[in-house]
Structure 1
Amino acid sequence: MPDLIKVAKFGGTSMADLTAMKRCASIVSSDPDKKVIVVSATSGTTNLLTELCTEESVETRVEIVSQIKEKHLAICKQFGNPKTLLDEVTALLSELEAIASRKQIMTKMLRDEILSFGERLSSRIFSEVLKVDSGDDIQWLDARTVIKTDNHYGSAEPDIDEIGKASSEILQPLLKDARVVTQGFIGSDSKGTTTTLGRGGSDYSAALFAEAVDADVLEIWTDVTAIYTTDPRIAPDARPITEISFDEAAELSVFGAKVLHPATVVPAIRKNIRVYVGSSIHPEKPGTWIVRDTKEKPVIRAISLRRRQTLVKVHSLDMLHRYGFLAKLFQVLGDHKISVDLVTTSEVSVALTLDSDINNPGQPMLGEEVLEELQKFSEVEIIKDLSLVALVGNNLNQTAGLSGPIFGSLLDVNIHLICHGASSYNLCFLVAEEDAENVVQVLHKQFIK
């Protein structure tokens, strides 16, 4: 194994076309320590594959495959059509077309198989681009042989022990003499069936690879130059953050910052792997380092915004001076795999926040079946079209005189829920979607110096 190992992940915009791929190849070639390269599907491909999974018409599905085919063959043609690459890409596209042409029930298992084609195609092409541009020995690796998961298709849970074993047997021997190009987002269960880690899971995959090879650095190359103090599209005076802690980055990612997948930092924390976020479009610009301990620890480092939130209020007199109600409530949610973000309680009520259904914007993740179960022992009120604002920093729950200025600057805003004190790294509250951007602008101007 080399003395220093870096795992570099490139997102969809970094794989957009041949020009973008060559830019990424240059970034990899300039640093001999970049040994494992993890890539996403070319931009827009996962959306097309998702559309294919929801389309009932075989004719339309074949047309979608035709769009994917045209896109990837165009990159190959521009690259110069090396026969081996063209044969491999054509074979993958033919396999996808065969699946799309069959009339069959769209199971979660089949959906994962279909979605995997995006990364499998982009990684095949990029490995050849990198080989030609760098002149190095480049090995293409099927991520499914290393990233082992359970069979919760669509959002599979990695098996860390099995990943470690597969890495030792398959991946690490390759790193002695070559760079390895592989895929993000996909894995396989104990039977070898394709699984996915969920949308945005390529970052997570890269972190799992970094953990498995005991990397020194994990690099996330994207279309933004750094992690910012807030979304620059909301607050033009937002500025890049040079250094941020694991805990702060985790809070930001969970509460809406889209630079990193929320789970990305977990494997990095386990192995204390430094994470770098930079732009593949402007690699010369300084990015953001995510480390265990930062030199500076401001009370408020950044502000994030998480849209499409739903507030669920559960009311029952059975809560009054009795035990077991919360266990009963969360048992129902757990049985239906519903993830809760924030929770507050009173004597007879519980308020909690959920993401709205991404397939039906504005609709809560609670289905009718869940509501019926909850209504057997409580009254349920649902408030939609909300946004979650999170102030992220250090010692927020121990800093006197902070809440007054924060909420004093929002006197005209109706705040539906406040969560403060559970974590020293964040202060969160819910506001109406229509007020959210103004709230972020006001707070950023006042508290980010």
Structure 2
Amino acid sequence: MNTNELNVLKFGGTSVKDAETINKVHQIVSNYTGKQAIVVSAHAGVTNMLVDICNSRKEEISPLLSDLFQKHTSIAKELGILELVNEFITNELSEIDVITNYLPLSPQLKDVVMSKGEILSSTIIYTYFKNKGLKVSYVDAREVMKTNSRFTNAELEFDKSCEIIFERFTSEYLSNDVTVMGGFIASDEEGRPTTLGRGGSDYSAAVVASALGAEELQIWTDVNGILTSDPRVIDGVKKIRKLSYSEASELSFFGAKVLHPSTIHPAVKKGIPVRVKNTFNPTDDGTLVLSERSNIKMIKAIAFRKDVVTITLCSNRMLGAYGFMSKVFQIFENLKIPVDIVTTSEVSISVTVDKSEYNSLVEKELSVLGEVVISDDNAIIAAIGEGIKQTAGIANRLFGALKGINISMVSVGASEVNLSIVVKDVDMQRAITLLHEEFFSGELNPEFFE
């Protein structure tokens, strides 16, 4: 089999949330030519329901399990396959009942519970596809995705998993055009279920794409692609048609939830394009994420992060002092506070941290080294695009657009893909609007924007 003729399609929870959306997925899959590997998340809301079950008292579990049973059987009934999967659904949920009511919920058993969402959704979707006449096979992710035993956030044994995936999928494609597999789940060497943590389904799909040398990895969601800014904050945003992996990574850091680049890294590393598409508007081309960096330098997006704390340390001891910076960052490391932006002068250092990560002990620890000033009402705004540092006039345009708005910090990322500033929360929306008007009003390059 020529795996270059194969596409890997990953459908997220909103794309398989009910019978109607699963039928849309079937239409999308049916319209494709060539081989396809379909990786699916749990139905929307199910993962949260499973988390609630794990965190509930025993007397609260029964009604939650009833809700889960009702959700899955309702979907199956609407799809016309309830008789085919009813016993399977009952058995899977009965296992959750036994675990949560009669056994101590260890991390290992929590993974058994959390794996049920993708096991159920993938089985329902496979059964529906088969019932509709597709030449389809089912691959149990626990048989091909192999990890260590770090339950709830396991690490994949990449080479071993790729070898198993290649053998299993290529065997299935001898007689079928489509395979269906649940994302997010795997198993350790002893066959015990494990889960892959945040973005696990995207990661599963990327590993399959890498193992099979797929032509394209497609992430199907509920938006047309990646946008130039957040439409909930400003009007007039554009769809980005094409961007680099580096640009996508920066956007993810600033909160773009459509794609989490670390999860698609296995595909990008192998040079496989990743396309973000809309299940509810499948004719739209979406956004293409490429491993290679573009030679055309431009701003692709204005991103932001709210609820940012700035910490400034002033000390004359910094002047010519060897090892001073290492002492500062050792404090952050000891308190397990991740630092985002760093700027320095001869006698001061300023950093930003997410408010949710802030620990008030840092002020006390840093005060040993100098005067400390804390500000907790800030936002980071970033202009993102390849080659910002080498593109003349970008900084002038940015600062010119923001005249009248106080900027407390400025940083150009080491990747040279983002130019970040820090402003007060109250100025954030105005600043984003002004920057978006500056860089995205008027005629745009149709190769990159729509």
TM-score using structure 1 length? 0.86
Aligned residues of 1:130 and 1:138 also touching (Cα < 8 A): no
Counterpart in the other structure of 1:167: 165
Conserved in 1, the CA contact under 8 Å of 2:274 and 2:289? yes
CA distance in structure 2 between the aligned counterparts of 1:348 and 1:284, rounded to whole angstroms: 56
Q: Alpha-carbon deviation of 1:396?
A: 0.6
Letter in 1 for 2:254: F
The offset of 1:198, in angstroms, is 2.5
Alpha-carbon spacing, 1:326–1:212, altered in 2? closer, same or farther (3 Å) = farther
State the shift of 1:37 in Å.
0.7
The whole-number CA distance in structure 2 between the counterparts of 1:351 and 1:270 is 34
Q: CA deviation at 1:216?
A: 1.3
Which AA in structure 1 matches 2:26?
A: A
Name the counterpart of 2:89. Answer: 89
Among 177, 200, 205, the alignment partner of 2:175 is 177
**Closer/same/farther in 2, CA of residues 267 and 403 from structure 1, 3 Å limit:** same
Deviates more, 1:418-427 or 1:76-85: 76-85
Q: Give the partner amino acid of 2:165.
A: S
The residue that corresponds to 2:395 in the other structure is 403
Check whether the contact 2:6–2:215 (CA below 8 A) recurs between aligned residues: yes
- What is the aligned partner in structure 2 of residue 113 from structure 1? 112
TM-superposition CA deviations, 1:227-274 (whole Å, max 9, x none): 111122222211112222222222222222221113134222210001
Max radius of gyration: which structure? 2
Q: TM-score, normalised by structure 2?
A: 0.86
Shift of 1:440: 1.6
Q: Does 1:259 align with 2:254?
A: no
Counterpart of 2:129, as a letter, is L
Give yes or no for the alignment of 1:202 onto 2:201.
Answer: yes
After the TM superposition, which of the residue ranges 385-394 and 20-29 deviates more from structure 2? 385-394
The SS at the match of 2:132 is helix
Q: Structure 1 counterpart of 2:93, which letter? A: L
Say which is worse superposed, 275-284 or 154-163, in terms of deviation.
Answer: 154-163
Q: Deviation per CA, 1:31-72, whole angstroms, max 9, x where unpaired?
A: 1335211111111112222233333x2122332222222111
Work out whether 1:99 is the aligned partner of 2:91.
Answer: no
Q: Distance in 1 between matches of 2:48 and 2:238?
A: 30
Conservation of the 8 A alpha-carbon contact between 1:6 and 1:216: yes
Amino acid at match of 2:198: R
Following superposition, which runs of at least 4 residues in structure 1 exceed 6 angstroms of deviation? Answer: 315-318, 368-380
- 1:75-101 Cα offsets, whole Å, 9 max, x none, are 112222443422222211111222232
More displaced 10-residue stretch of structure 1: 439-448 or 191-200: 191-200
What secondary structure does 1:65 align onto? helix
Equivalent residue, structure 2, for 1:67: 67
Rounded Cα–Cα distance in structure 2 between residues aligned with 1:134 and 1:325: 68
Q: 2:125 is matched with which residue? A: 126
Identity of aligned residues (%): 38
Conserved 8 A contact 1:62-1:101: no
In structure 2, do the counterparts of structure 1 residues 369 and 88 end up closer, same or farther at CA, with 3 Å as the change threshold? farther
Alpha carbon RMSD of aligned pairs, Å?
A: 3.0
Note the C-alpha offset of 1:149. 3.2
Q: What secondary structure does 2:145 align onto?
A: coil
- Residue 360 of structure 1 is matched in structure 2 by none
Secondary structure (helix, strand or coil) at the match of 1:415 reads coil
Contact 1:2–1:176 under 8 Å retained in 2: no
Change (3 A) 1:293 1:368: closer
CA offsets per residue over residues 112-162 of structure 1, 9 Å max, x none?
Answer: 3332222121111111112222421322x2223333334444443333222
Given that 2:297 and 2:391 are in contact with CA atoms closer than 8 Å, whether structure 1 keeps it comes out as no
Deviations 1:148-199 (A, max 9, x none): 3344444433332222233234344223333221122223344444333323
**In terms of mean alpha carbon deviation, does 263-272 or 316-325 score higher?**
316-325
Tell me the residue number matched to 1:35: 36
- 1:419 paired residue among 402, 408, 411: 411
CA distance in 2, matches of 1:158, 1:375: 42
8 Å CA contact 1:201–1:261 kept in 2: the answer is no
1:282 is matched with 281
Gaps of 5+ in 1: 357-363
Query: Does 2:431 align with 1:433?
Result: no
Q: Which moved more, 1:195-204 or 1:318-327?
A: 318-327
| CA apart distance, 1:376 | 7.6
